[in-house]
Amino acid sequence: MTKNAGLMKQVMYYHFVTGSNGAKAVYPTWSLKAGTTLDTMYMSSTTKKHYQLFVGSAVGTKVLIKSAGTSAYTYMPNIKCGAGVAHGIDNLLLPMALTTIAKYI
């Protein structure tokens, strides 16, 4: 994997969400509503815009997060992490389809 360290960093950044325009924000599950768009820390090298995740549905602490390539449900929500909050999810979120990612590996 060290050969693809850049790709791994991008996938990791795709799992961290910021506020609008890169501002710091905290998103506990109770604040997430269906249809909400979330900016990730992963930024396009060409457009300089943040890739986004979308809230598909939110019922209590069970939230469906959709990405361009996959989707995931929260299963360990609202874990305090310093000044932020983390959510355990049941799947890897991908910024593009697996067939596209395979071209970079």
The pTM for the full model equals 0.82
Residues 6+ apart with CB under 8 A from 96: 68, 69
Res 56: pLDDT: 96
Domains of the chain: 2-104 (2.30.180.10)
In this structure, the number of other CB atoms found within 10 A of the CB of residue 38 comes to 18
pLDDT digits over 60-86, tens only?
899 999 998 899 999 999 999 888 889
The rounded distance, in Å, linking the Cα atoms of 64 and 70 is: 11
pLDDT tens sequence for the chain (105 residues): 567 787 788 888 889 998 765 567 889 999 999 999 999 998 888 999 889 999 999 998 999 999 988 999 999 999 998 888 899 999 999 887 777 777 766
